[in-house]
Amino acid sequence: MISALSSPHSLEQLINHILDSRQLTRQDQRQLLSLQSLTSQEQTLVNRLFDRLRLGLVRVVD
């Protein structure tokens, strides 16, 4: 798993991992909540994730 979100590429990797596994873990949540500011491209990635959460395509797990 990605330990730190130091670049947009690692954010993209994290979100792609979540979407591929269809599971959002506590560790993933902590990493997403640690984000300070987002570019418009990063915001689009996060919005994609939240859309899938709302549709039930991604589950939140411990």
Check whether 53 has a pLDDT greater than 90.
Answer: yes
Mean pLDDT of the chain: 89
Work out the average pLDDT over 17-34.
95
Check whether 25 has a pLDDT greater than 80.
Answer: yes
In whole angstroms, what is the distance from residue 57 CA to residue 62 CA?
17
- How high is the pLDDT of residue 2? 43
Reported pTM: 0.81
- Indicate the DSSP class of residue 38: -
| pLDDT band, very low/low/confident/very high, at 62 (cuts 50, 70, 90) | confident
Parse the chain into domains and list their residue ranges: 8-60
